[in-house]
């Protein structure tokens, strides 16, 4: 952080992390004379391929770790504001509950999550947060009753009827609208502007260069490019883009009405989940280890120091980085896995064609903790990324935390979780071939899948 308030802040990425940061900055008098430029490569905003944009995202305080649960509850206070100006207004937030299930042998995450959410419900003493709405499900029958699904899988689990979901695309549109209004002339939002590389002068980040070679200088650059972040700077194994799969089927008006108020159901053993439908579309998705899409990126783009004279041995000139591939349909193995989950949950709908499928990209970190910190090597470069498939619910509160971190005022517990981890810290989470899978305890399914390999198996 420069000693003085930056006069120009550049934010790369108009997803949740970038927009929330900008909203927080414009709310703080200290930044009244700071201009803010937000760049996004997407031609349209909200970006339909960004991970912050989708039919829905789960909003839950159901975390095994209490600091995330506590922050999620704080965010939920905002989600529950249903006034038109509030985060949850105009249908952006719904609260029909969340049911987590697991097979008999897999209960560690469930148990800790249940304990933490229960004890927080008691501690918080919020009238809306009813401990009686959080309870264990000890049999398949109890799961059926709580979820409303007849054929739901899992041997045990718990229900939290204080949790809900948000219409993600509408929330990004809401944040953009607020930013345009609250930021006025100070904020410039540029869509269709792809950053080709960050700019450096010695060890100082000085802004970014666009694909058309336009240079945008800034006193502080915030990298909030979601799953694309590791392709703009070498994060040295601290973030990885992993492709997660989802599919939609059409449902009738009657089905929409009957399923609308059911809770989200997630089976922690296979990662499959179903969120209540919207506009006659039912989404089935998998929260897993995901696919990597490896692309060779010139090392000098990722490690700017190397551009300043250091000689790069030829064999190290490129680095394999997993980069989001968007606009492609999901591989056969995912089509089959999602179909199997439909057969379990809603067998009478299981044969319906997918009207749309999508690979949506998580920016995973080895532990599932966000990466919100100053870059340890380059001055004036701040990292706000690593959402790890669970960042969305924090939209209303993450911006203030990011700005606290920029100002080195973030509460120590969160600063510790979101730090640049040392190589020693990361070592236990690495597989021999490097960091290939987030080990936050919530993932299921196969590890180590490569998108190209799975695509090649297409029938
Ligand atoms: C399938 C799926 C399901 C999820 N489910 C949940 C859930 O239920 N609950 C929950 O809390 N969280 C969930 N998440 C996680 C949550 O959505 C993300 O953590 C969050 O949206 C990340 O926001 P972001 O701003 O980091 O990334 P993004 O929203 O992807 O924004 C990054 C932006 O950066 C832009 N960008 C990238 N590269 C460049 C460049 N070179 N130049 C300019 N712009 C660039 C992109 O165009 C993009 O718009 C889910 C994520 C996915 C993918």
pLDDT digit string, tens, across residues 284-325: 999 999 999 999 998 877 877 665 555 555 555 788 899 999
Alpha carbon of 253 to ligand 1 centroid (Å): 31
Per-residue confidence at 423, pLDDT binned at 50, 70, 90?
confident
Tens digit of each residue's pLDDT (9 = 90 or more) over 187-210: 999 999 999 999 999 889 999 999
Please state whether beta strands 57-59 and 164-166 pair in parallel, antiparallel, or not at all (unpaired): antiparallel
User: Quick one: pLDDT at residue 60?
Assistant: 93
d(CA 453, CA 456): 5
Smallest CA separation from ligand 1 atom 31, residue: 15
Ligand 1 within 6 A of 79 CB? no
CB atoms within 10 A of CB 151: 13
Mutate to test the pocket of ligand 1, among 56, 226, 268 (most ligand atoms within 8 A of CB): 226
Q: Which CATH class is domain 8-293+330-429?
A: alpha beta
Residue 221 in contact with ligand 1 by CB distance below 6 A: no
Between 94 and 126, residue with greater pLDDT: 94
pLDDT of 312: 55
For 336-368, the pLDDT digits (tens) are 999 999 998 899 999 999 999 999 999 999 999
Q: What are the domain boundaries of the chain?
A: 8-293+330-429
The residue with greater pLDDT, 63 or 420, is: 420
191 C-alpha to center of ligand 1: Å? Answer: 16
372: CA distance to ligand 1 center in Å? 14
Q: Looking at ligand 1, which atom is closest to the CA of residue 56? A: 8
> Token pair 């409303």 is at which residue?
148
pLDDT for 315: 55
What's the pLDDT score for residue 165?
Answer: 97
Using the atom order of ligand 1, give the atom closest to the CA of residue 390. 12
The response to whether residue 392 sits with its C-beta less than 6 Å from ligand 1 reads yes
Select the more confidently predicted residue: 375 or 119: 375
| Contact between residue 443 and residue 437 where contact means Cβ atoms under 8 Å apart | yes
Q: What is the pLDDT of residue 440?
A: 86
Rounded CA gap, 40 and 22, in Å?
13
What is the average per-residue pLDDT within 219-244?
95
Q: What is the pLDDT of residue 74?
A: 94
pLDDT of residue 433: 61
Strand duo 381-385 + 134-137: pairing: unpaired
Question: What pLDDT shows up at residue 77?
Answer: 94
Check whether the bond before 46 is cis (ω within 30° of 0).
yes
Provide the pLDDT for residue 125: 75
Binned at pLDDT 50, 70 and 90, residue 420 comes out as very high
How many other C-beta atoms can be found within 10 angstroms of the C-beta atom of residue 218? Answer: 23
Q: Is 12 a pocket residue for ligand 1 (Cβ < 6 Å)?
A: yes
Establish whether residue 244 lines the binding site of ligand 1, counting it when its CB lies within 6 angstroms of any ligand atom.
yes
Closest atom of ligand 1 to CA, residue 391: 19
CB 360 less than 6 A from any atom of ligand 1:
yes
Residue-level pLDDT at 432: 60
Ligand 1 atom nearest the C-alpha of 19 is: 25
For residue 378, name the pLDDT band (cuts at 50, 70, 90): very high
Counting residues of the chain whose pLDDT is more than 70, the rounded percentage is 95
Average pLDDT over residues 62-87: 93
Query: CA 194 to CA 83: how far, in whole Å?
Result: 35
40-56: average pLDDT: 97
Give the mean model confidence (pLDDT) for residues 374-398. Answer: 97
Q: What is the pLDDT of residues 144-163, one digit of tens each?
A: 999 998 878 888 999 999 99
- The pLDDT assigned to 445 comes to 85
Q: How far is the CA of 361 from the centre of ligand 1 (A)?
A: 7
Cα–ligand 1 centroid distance for 119 (angstroms): 30
Report the distance separating Cα 413 and Cα 104, nearest Å. 33
Q: Give the separation between CA 218 and CA 238, rounded to whole angstroms.
A: 25
Q: How far apart are CA 132 and CA 146, in angstroms?
A: 13
Confidence of residue 428 (pLDDT cuts 50, 70, 90): confident
**Predicted pLDDT at 459:** 61
Is the pLDDT assigned to residue 50 strictly greater than 70?
yes
Work out the mean pLDDT of the chain and round it to a whole number: 92
pLDDT tier for residue 66 given thresholds of 50, 70 and 90: confident
Ligand 1 centroid – CA 439 distance (Å): 19
Our answer on whether the CB atom of 40 is closer than 6 Å to any ligand 1 atom is yes
Atom of ligand 1 nearest to the CA of 18: 25
pLDDT digits (tens, 9 = 90+) for 97-110: 999 999 887 777 88
pLDDT given at position 437: 86
Contacts of 102 (CB under 8 A, 6+ apart): 109, 110, 154, 155, 156, 157, 267, 268, 269
pLDDT above 60: residue 418 = yes
The finding on whether 245 has its CB within 6 A of some atom of ligand 1 is no
Averaged pLDDT, 374-387: 96
Give the other-Cβ count within 10 Å of 314's Cβ.
Answer: 7
Ligand 1 pocket test: pick from 327, 338, 358, 389 the residue with the most ligand atoms within 8 Å of its Cβ.
389
What pLDDT, on a 0 to 100 scale, did the predictor assign at position 316? Answer: 59
Per-residue H/E/C for the chain: CCCCCCCEEEEECCCHHHHHHHHHHHHCHHHCCCEEEEECCCCCCCCCCCCCCCCCEEECCCCCCHHHHHHHHHHHHHHCCCCCCCCCCCCCEECCCEEEEECCCCCHHHHHHHHHHHHHHHHHCCCCCCHHHEEEECCHHHHHHHHCCCCCCCCEEEEECCCEEECHHHHHHHHHHHHHHHHHHHEEEECCCCEEEEEEECCEEEEEEECCCCEEECCEEEECCHHHHHHCCCCCCCCEEEEEEEEEEECCHHHHHHHCCCCEEEECCCCEEEEEEECCEEEEEECECCEECEEEEEHHHHCHHHHCCCCCCHHHCEEEEECCCCCCCCCHHHHHHHHHHHHHHCHHHCCCCCCEEEEEEEEECCCCCCEEEECCCCECEEEEECCCCCCHHHHHHHHHHHHHHHCCCCCHHHHHHCCCCCHHHHHHHCECCECCCCCCCCCECCCCEEHHHHHHCCC
Distance from residue 15's CA to the centre of ligand 1 (Å): 6
Distance (angstroms) between ligand 1 centre and the Cα of 65 equals: 22
Return the number of other C-beta atoms located less than 10 Å from residue 457's C-beta: 9
Q: Which atom of ligand 1 is nearest to the CA of 40?
A: 44
- Say which range, 6-15, 303-312, 326-335, has the weakest mean pLDDT: 303-312
Q: Give the distance (Å) from ligand 1 centre to CA of residue 141.
A: 36
Residue 328: the pLDDT is 95
């Amino acid at each position: 952080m420069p000693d003085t308030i930056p006069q120009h802040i550049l934010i790369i990425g108009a997803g949740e992390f970038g927009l929330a940061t900008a909203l927080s900055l414009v709310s703080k008098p200290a930044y009244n004379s700071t201009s803010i430029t937000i760049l996004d490569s997407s031609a349209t905003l909200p970006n339909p391929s960004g991970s912050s944009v989708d039919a829905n995202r789960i909003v839950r305080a159901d975390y095994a770790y209490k600091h995330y649960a506590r922050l999620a509850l704080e965010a939920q206070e905002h989600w529950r504001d249903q006034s038109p100006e509030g985060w949850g207004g105009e249908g952006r937030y719904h609260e029909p509950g969340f049911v987590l299930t697991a097979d008999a042998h897999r209960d560690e995450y469930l148990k800790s999550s249940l304990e933490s959410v229960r004890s927080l419900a008691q501690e918080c003493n919020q009238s809306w947060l009813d401990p009686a709405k959080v309870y264990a499900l000890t049999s398949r029958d109890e799961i059926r009753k709580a979820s409303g699904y007849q054929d739901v899988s899992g041997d045990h689990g718990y229900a939290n009827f204080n949790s809900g979901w948000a219409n993600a695309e509408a929330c990004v549109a809401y944040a953009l609208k607020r930013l345009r209004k609250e930021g006025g002339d100070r904020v410039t939002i540029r869509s269709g502007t792809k950053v080709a590389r960050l700019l450096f002068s010695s060890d100082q980040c000085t802004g970014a260069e666009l694909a058309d070679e336009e240079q945008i200088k800034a006193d502080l650059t915030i990298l909030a490019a979601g799953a694309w972040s590791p392709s703009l700077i070498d994060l040295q194994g601290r973030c990885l883009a992993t492709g997660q799969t989802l599919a939609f089927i059409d449902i009738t008006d009657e089905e929409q009405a009957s399923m609308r108020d059911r809770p989200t159901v997630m089976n922690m053993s296979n990662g499959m989940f179903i969120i209540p439908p919207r506009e006659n579309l039912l989404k089935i998705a998998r929260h897993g280890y995901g696919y990597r899409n490896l692309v060779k990126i010139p090392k000098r783009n990722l490690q700017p120091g190397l551009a300043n004279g250091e000689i790069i041995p030829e064999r190290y000139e490129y680095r394999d980085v997993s980069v989001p591939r968007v606009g492609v349909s999901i591989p056969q193995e995912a089509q089959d896995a999602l179909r199997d989950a439909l057969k379990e949950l809603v067998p009478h709908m299981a044969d319906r064609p997918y009207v749309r499928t999508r690979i949506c990209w998580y920016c995973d970190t080895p532990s599932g903790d966000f990466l919100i910190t100053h870059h340890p090597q380059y001055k004036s470069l701040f990292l706000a990324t690593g959402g790890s498939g669970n960042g969305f619910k924090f939209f209303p509160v993450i911006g203030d935390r990011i700005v606290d971190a920029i100002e080195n005022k973030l509460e120590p517990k969160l600063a510790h979780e979101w730090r640049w981890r040392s190589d020693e810290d990361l070592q236990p989470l690495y597989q021999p071939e490097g960091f290939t899978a987030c080990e936050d305890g919530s993932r299921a399914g196969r590890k180590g899948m490569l998108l190209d390999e799975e695509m090649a198996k297409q029938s």
